[in-house]
Amino acid sequence: MTSTIADRLLDWYDRHARALPWRARTGEPAPDPYRVWLSEVMLQQTTVAAVKPYFAAFTARWPDVAALAAAPEEEVMAAWAGLGYYSRARNLVKAARAVAGRGGFPETEAGLRELPGLGAYTAAAVAAIAFDRRAVVVDANVERVVARLFAIETPLPQARKPIRVAAETITPETRAGDFAQAMMDLGATICTTRDPRCLLCPLAEGCAARAQGDPARLPRKTKKKPKPLRLGVAFWIERDNAVWLVRRAGKGMLGGMRALPDDGWSAQADGSGEPPLPGDWEALGRISHTFTHAQLELAVSRYAGDGSPEGEGEWWPLARLEEAGLPTLFAKAARLALA
């Protein structure tokens, strides 16, 4: 069964692989590890469609790992703005510097794990895809396919271990990188979350969930607790076609990113957080934003006086606001203020 699944899947992949900018086509040499690593970091929690323009912009601006290692962290953070999960960008810079310092990427999964901020998934993916090492690569797509193939009833996240054990049994000794990408493609295009297209699936024969008749019910998931709600106020201070922006403290949420001044997200429910300037403030409305661990309701207030903010910050021209690298939350607040 082991070789049969891998053989059938690789045969399908040779004919149906998605063409993606960070991939080598079947039969071509393995892709540049820098591009594989960059794409895998960007793809965590993020769709292929959202990643493509960022990948193009990053590789045009920083074509290799040495160039990225030499980039100031703030510039990388600004270029990352909009992709979310900003700790990924900070870790990207750290890992790039470590790779440049040692003269290239380690080629093994264990060696890759030693790079700062590089987790088990990324190490396995880079080892398999860029260096053709046998590694068991399990992302959310692969989890879904494996849970269905083996009809694993344990709900996620507890199912991660049995899924990994099952994935290990079907990972081939050769072409592990292609196998990993084939599983990802199968999950993204055929074995989809709500509507698996079993009739087109190369693994239909021998799929336990399909045999049971309702594959879409797997993987089961433990019900998530609702996220805690945080409240905050962002302050819009505008003058001479420029807006006052600050740099967020290095640690904590959105650390190191350019942003509107805010009240630390500890405001009262009525949006009456402490403003950076005394005087008249006009309530413009609210925006909502979902973080990994919390839901944020952010009121946006516009300054209606003629005082000047104190402390560190900069007047940023409104005409170039897109270039400020505001994270999505503050980009939403800015859109509200400018509407």
The residue written with tokens 């999964």 in the block is 109
Nearest partner of 62 among 25, 100, 26, 30, judged by Cα: 100
Query: Residue 182 interacts with ligand SF4 (CB under 6 A)?
Result: no
Least distance from ligand SF4 to the Cβ atom of residue 206, Å: 9
Query: Residue 146 interacts with ligand SF4 (CB under 6 A)?
Result: no
Query: Residue 149 interacts with ligand SF4 (CB under 6 A)?
Result: yes
Peptide bond into 157 cis (omega under 30): yes
Rounded Cα distance, 66 and 98, in Å: 10
- Which of 188, 207, 299, 334 is close enough to bind ligand SF4 by CB under 6 A? 207
Sheet holding 229-236, edge to edge: 229-236, 295-303, 281-290
Q: Examine the residue annotation and report whether 28 is marked as an active-site residue of this protein.
A: no
- 190 vs 233, beta carbon nearer ligand SF4: 190
Query: Residue 148 interacts with ligand SF4 (CB under 6 A)?
Result: yes
CB 333 within 8 A of CB 244: no
Least distance from ligand SF4 to the Cβ atom of residue 8, Å: 10
Of 88-96, 110-118, 172-180, 197-205, which part binds ligand SF4 (CB under 6 A)? 197-205
- Which of 42, 123, 145, 167 is close enough to bind ligand SF4 by CB under 6 A? 145
Of 96-104, 195-203, 224-232, 298-306, which part binds ligand SF4 (CB under 6 A)? 195-203
- 145 vs 284, beta carbon nearer ligand SF4: 145
- Which of 67, 120, 156, 204 is close enough to bind ligand SF4 by CB under 6 A? 204
CA torsion sign for 25, 30, 34, 40 is positive
CA torsion sign for 202, 203, 205, 207 is negative
Rounded Cα distance, 300 and 281, in Å: 10
CA quadruple 159, 161, 163, 168: dihedral, nearest 10? 180
Catalytic (active-site) positions: 40
Q: Which residues contribute to the site for ligand SF4 (CB under 6 A)?
A: 145, 148-149, 190-191, 196-198, 201, 203-204, 207, 209-210, 215
